[in-house]
Chains A and B, each alone.
Chain A
């Protein structure tokens, strides 16, 4: 935690020392009373956040390496019979956990690829190419943003088990998760909004130099859109990792299920200690990725919020 916090602190120091201020001014901060209250509240908030947000994860680690009876009888006892690393070994042996991890990875990568493909090409079409029908398409995409997702849950399921015109059944294939995830109005909007901020002169100049739509897309748009592609990558991957209801519906076969679907299925007939170990492993990957790319995550969440305004 401290190692991950250090770079962001160093990065933030400069703007903090400059003119930046918030409710409390530098003048207020010089008063000892204000400073004491700010210090106490600040420390309190930090401790509260550590207990409520990191606490459950630490407890999960403890439960993952304790015996079931210990976890059930004394939830706050710290390893009364030593650390049981064996639970983690058992999670891989008994629960076939490596397969679920692999499936999760496949689900994430596919959703990421198709999500990015649709959002970048579509966003480019709407924001830069702008043919006559772009406004209609853009309006139709935007409309889906305002329609609650629940409306099409059942119809989407029936579409996936019998794809119109093609007559194929995507049930129990990863396509059933990848493709519907790519139809995200939010992603398209995020890219097209970003691309409209690029000066059009740039595209006109490239066109005069003889670059076609494909070359402009590959050599100008994609490199310039790198920041938004980063944001999009994080958002699509996290969404794919977290999704539960949809993969539950379309991936019935245990050997295809990602962690999110497999865990609740095995929860009731697995030893508590082994379940906790399995849960711990499935938390470990996203948490480590988050700690490594903390700034990008927080910026992605912030820019996703900016779009909501």
Chain B
């Protein structure tokens, strides 16, 4: 387009004009007017994103259609996708990941909302309480995961089993029980993540205009009804986006199963990301790994689009 633009201009303008004029500016004046300095300011961003964001995304699209070793790549069409879909582990990984995400949503999503609402009412202790709630977020996930792995010690003397013993329950096998492994991971993930939610919701709660509560109070709404009819509707924008972000995050869970269980027992905690990791970095099959990454990314994008479309009426913005 730029070429035709220049040629048209060159034809229309007098012959004395510089031949490669574009937008009435030559590169020299462009540089003198600060164009070069501006470009220099963009350079770190362009290099960083070019190399480590844009190019890898484009390359993913190509890799998924290629068979690659480090020396040569050959185009194999959709063979990688076929091999992904033919893997009996895929169904297990998809089921585990979905189960994990939905359970994490049911268990983990209301916790920070309720905590934040309570904290908003606690005036003198709010600072201490929000700091406490944020503490698990500060702990490096690797340490927290290793710590919880110790808590989940399946022996009768394990920490959680000892606690269950106080009320006459257990001992449970926790991470060693194929049926209990995902709920155990969800419990950990809820603990590790709820602090972020608390802080974000608390910030939102503080922006709710007090007139709304006063109006509701004058109309005779009791405390619980004020929560239901004023607080929740005022928070819906942030709630909607946090729900989507949580889903996108939990569908890409890796660290917890990788360190706690390695995907076991009996593939009971094999997640999609763990499968991608195994394809790429255990088996060295980059094509297959990228094909699965791409499928997951497309699924998540579709999910986001669908979600945005379905909730567009409730969204505030």
- Contact residues, A245-267 vs B (CB, 8 A): 245, 249, 259-261, 263-264, 267
Give the complex CA separation of A283 and B142 in angstroms. Answer: 10
A102 to B46, CA, bound (A): 30
- Which of B38, B43, B144, B254 contacts A131, CB < 8 Å? B38
The minimal Cβ–Cβ distance linking A162 to chain B, given in whole angstroms, is 8
Kindly supply a per-residue 1/0 record for chain B positions 115-142, scoring 1 wherever the CB is within 8 Å of any chain A CB and 0 otherwise.
Answer: 1011111111111111111111111111
Whether the Cβ atoms of A153 and B242 lie closer than 8 Å is no
CB interface residues, B 101-116, toward A, < 8 Å: 115
Would you call A182 and B52 a contact (CB within 8 A)? Answer: yes
A125/B38 in contact, CB under 8 A:
yes
A227: chain B residues at CB < 8 Å are none
Q: Are A286 and B138 in contact (CB under 8 A)?
A: yes
Q: Is B146's CB under 8 angstroms from A279's CB?
A: yes
Task: Flag whether B90 is at the interface (Cβ < 8 A).
Answer: no
- A205 proximal to B (CB < 8 A): no
Which of chain A's residues have a CB closer than 8 A to the CB of B226? Answer: 23
**A245-B45 in contact (CB<8A):** no
Shortest distance from the beta carbon of B40 to any chain A beta carbon, whole Å: 8
In the complex, how many residues of chain B place their beta carbon closer than 8 angstroms to a beta carbon of chain A? Answer: 114
Which residues from 250 to 290 on chain B have a C-beta closer than 8 Å to any C-beta of chain A? 251-252, 254-255, 258-259, 273, 276-277, 280-281, 286, 289-290
**Residues from chain A with Cβ under 8 Å of B128 in the complex:** 1-2, 5, 8-9, 46
A213 touches B41 (CB 8 A): yes
The verdict on B60 contacting chain A, using a C-beta distance below 8 Å, is: yes
CB within 8 Å: A-B pair count: 320
Q: When A150-B293, A309-B238 are in contact, do A144 and B49 touch as well, CB less than 8 Å?
A: yes
Contact, CB under 8 Å: B132 / A267: no
Chain A residue with the shortest CB-CB distance to B226:
A23
Given A25-B214, A308-B245: A154 touches B159 (CB 8 Å cut-off):
no
Question: Is the Cβ of A146 less than 8 Å from the Cβ of B162?
Answer: no
Write out the residue numbers on chain B whose beta carbons fall within 8 Å of the beta carbon of A279: 143, 146-147
* Cβ distance B180 to chain A, nearest Cβ, rounded Å: 19
Q: Which of B34, B37, B139, B297 makes the CB contact (< 8 A) with A287?
A: B139
What's the minimum C-beta distance from A12 to chain B, rounded to whole angstroms?
6
Chain B stretch 188-234: residues in CB contact (< 8 A) with chain A = 191, 195-196, 199-200, 202-206, 208, 210, 213-214, 217, 223, 226-227, 230-231
Instruction: Name A residues whose Cβ lies closer than 8 Å to a Cβ of B.
Output: 1-2, 4-5, 8-9, 11-13, 16, 19-25, 27-28, 34, 38, 41-42, 45-46, 49-50, 52-54, 56-57, 59-60, 63, 71-76, 114, 117-118, 121-122, 124-125, 129, 131, 133, 137, 140-141, 144, 146-164, 179-180, 182-183, 185, 188, 212-214, 217, 238, 241-242, 244-245, 249, 259-261, 263-264, 267, 272, 275-276, 279, 282-283, 286-287, 290-291, 294, 297-298, 301-306, 308-309
Q: A151-B297, A297-B138 are in contact. List 7 more A-B contacts (CB 8 A).
A: A21-B210, A23-B223, A38-B121, A42-B118, A75-B159, A148-B251, A217-B41
